[in-house]
Amino acid sequence: MSGPRAYWLDRSENVSKIYRGLWLFGLALLAVDLALHKHEDFAFAAWFGFYCLFGFFACVVLVLVAKRLRGVLMRAEDYYER
């Protein structure tokens, strides 16, 4: 038996590479807004970076609100069995 196989993702610097890559990709997509004029039914949706900001902050708000909800809604796993 050889030792446990080493995986590329096990190394934290590789995870950081993915993280940085994702930022680069995101910023590149943001840059596309400079060149591309979007056709939108609502005029504000065609603003520069609308979808980027909306996507980012929607998720941050979602997580922060959900985290707060835990304080109200979370119970022990056997709550209903007791």
Partner 1 sequence: MSADFPVALVFLLGAVVVPLLHGRLRTAWMLLLPVAAFACLLTLPLGESGQVELLGQTLVLMRVDRLSLLFGYVFVLASLLNVIYALHLKDTVQHVAGLVYAGSSIGAVFAGDLMTLFIHWELTAVSSVLLIWAQRSDSSFRTGLRYVLVQLLSGMFLLAGALLHWRTTGSLAFGQIGLSGPAGVLILIAFGIKCAFPLLHNWLQDAYPAATPTGAVILSAFTTKLGIYALARAYPGTEMLIWVGTLMAAFPIFYAVIENDLRRVLAYSMNNQLGFMVVGIGIGSELAINGAVAHAFADILFKGLLFMSMGAVLLRTGTVKGSELGGLYKSMPWTTGFCMVGAASISAFPLFSGFVTKSMIMSAAAGEGLLLTWLVLLFASAGVFHHAGIKIPYFAFFGHDSGIRCQEAPRNMLVAMAIGAALCIGIGVFPQALYAILPYAVSYQPYSASHVVAQLQLLVFSALAFAVLMRTGIYPPELRSVNLDSDWFYRVLFASWAQRATDALQQARATFGRMLRSTGGRLYARIHRHHGPQGSLARTWPTGSMALWVTTMLLAWLALYYLP
Residues of this chain that bind partner 1 (CB under 8 A):
5, 7, 9-10, 19, 22-23, 25-26, 29-30, 32-33, 36-42, 45, 49, 51-60, 62-67, 69-70, 72-77, 79-81
Closest CA to 34 of 56, 52, 59, 21: 52
Compare residues 13 and 30 and give the one whose CB is closer to partner 1: 30
Residue 28 CB, shortest distance to partner 1, in Å, is 9
* 13/76 with CB nearer partner 1: 76
CB of 4 to partner 1, least distance (A): 9
Q: How far is CA 77 from CA 18, 49, 63, in A?
A: 35, 42, 21
Closer residue to partner 1 (CB): 3 or 32:
32
Q: Which residue has the tokens 């038996």?
A: 1
Question: Which residues touch 44 (CB under 8 Å, ≥6 apart)?
Answer: 50
Chain-centre distance for alpha carbon 56 = 7
